[in-house]
Amino acid sequence: MSAQLKAGPAVGAGTGRALRVRASAAVVVAVLGAVLLVPLLFPLDEQAVDMANKLQAPSLAHPFGTDDVGRDVLLRCVYGMRVSLLVGVVAALTATVIGTAVGAAAGAAGGRADRMVMRLVDVFSSVPHLLLGIFIVAMFRPGVWPVVASVGLTHWLSTARIVRAEVLSLRSRDFIDAAVSGGASRWRVAVRHLLPGVLPRAGLAAVLMVPHAIWHESALSFLGLGLPTHRASLGNMIQSARGTLLAGDWWPTLFPGLFLIVPTLAIASLAGVWRERINPRRRSELML
């Protein structure tokens, strides 16, 4: 080796992304820490009002200000995030389990069963899922679980499609033939060769769905169909702050809005990194 080695041209390209990933991770960790720790330190009485302190602008005592009945916006934001995350995660998991089961069954069965299931998925997809979600929550009394059901039961369609496509593509690979030839049972092929290939994608779909589900929860609450109005949820907070915004009091709307947007973007950004892990560009011959 004579001369010193020159760095490849693209060496600096990754730093901006690395920063974004780090910032996203920090946001997610901070939010998780807040929703887990704050309720232990600062219990919230959801029914309490303090009319003497209503609509205070942000200050040291109330960094995010107070709302139209004198409640601390920061504390309610954290509690709201807690509810939103719970709804988002449980709904996303529900949707993923249903979607994976339907997609894997359709892909593995193939033929007429596959066609029938996928037509059914098409029919479901043709109905706007917010409308379907409203229909589901309307059947129950307001609460967390109807919202979870409403989001979870309407969002498995895309996961089912992704998982089915993945199963179909894996099924045609020679290694499945090799497994069959090597004496593997149907069950073994499904559990050992098909499922592990599908799970990363299903998991990714689940993570990507968490922000989406949080938005849905907020949308339903904003429409007055979600959680009971006294519950601290981001959607409820934005909804009840509508009147104050017109009067020029911006904080009861802005902060819950930021709590909705920033963590969901951070989750989506981390999911994007994961997606690249699953789908690496073809490695060069020598990267082996």
Q: What is the x/- site pattern for other proteins, positions 194-233, by CB under 8 A?
A: --xx------------------------------------
Cα–Cα dist 172/84, whole Å: 41
Query: Segment contacting other proteins (CB under 8 A): 121-129, 157-165, 171-179, 261-269?
Result: 171-179
Cα–Cα dist 283/156, whole Å: 33
180 lies in the site for other proteins, by CB under 8 A:
yes
Give CA separation, 274 vs 91, 218, 225, in Å: 20, 26, 34
Cβ distance to other proteins smaller for residue 185 or 229: 185
Cβ distance to other proteins smaller for residue 46 or 177: 177
Cβ distance to other proteins smaller for residue 193 or 216: 193
Least separation, in Å, of the C-beta of 246 and other proteins? 50
Cβ distance to other proteins smaller for residue 155 or 193: 193
Cβ distance to other proteins smaller for residue 179 or 265: 179
Helices (H), 110-194: 111-125, 129-138, 144-152, 156-171, 174-181, 186-188
182 lies in the site for other proteins, by CB under 8 A:
yes
Cβ pair 197, 138 in contact under 8 A: no
Of 33, 28, 13, give the one whose Cα is nearest residue 274.
28
Least separation, in Å, of the C-beta of 113 and other proteins? 16
| Residue in the structure block whose two tokens are 């930021």 | 258
Query: Segment contacting other proteins (CB under 8 A): 57-65, 84-92, 104-112, 191-199?
Result: 191-199
Least separation, in Å, of the C-beta of 12 and other proteins? 9
**Helix (H, G, I), strand (E, B), or coil: what is residue 66?**
strand
Cβ pair 264, 211 in contact under 8 A: yes
Show contacts with other proteins in window 3-22 (CB under 8 A): 3-11, 13-14
Cα–Cα dist 251/90, whole Å: 30
- Compute the chain's Rg from CA coordinates: 24
Query: Segment contacting other proteins (CB under 8 A): 54-62, 80-88, 106-114, 280-288?
Result: 280-288
Number of residues that bind other proteins (CB under 8 A): 36
Cβ distance to other proteins smaller for residue 14 or 33: 14
**Helix (H, G, I), strand (E, B), or coil: what is residue 273?**
helix
Cβ distance to other proteins smaller for residue 54 or 171: 171
The residues with which 66 forms a beta bridge, in sequence order, are 72
Maximum separation of any 2 CA atoms in the chain, in Å: 79
Cα–Cα dist 172/175, whole Å: 9
Provide the binding-site residues for other proteins, judged by CB under 8 A: 1-11, 13-14, 173-175, 177-186, 188, 193, 196-197, 283-288
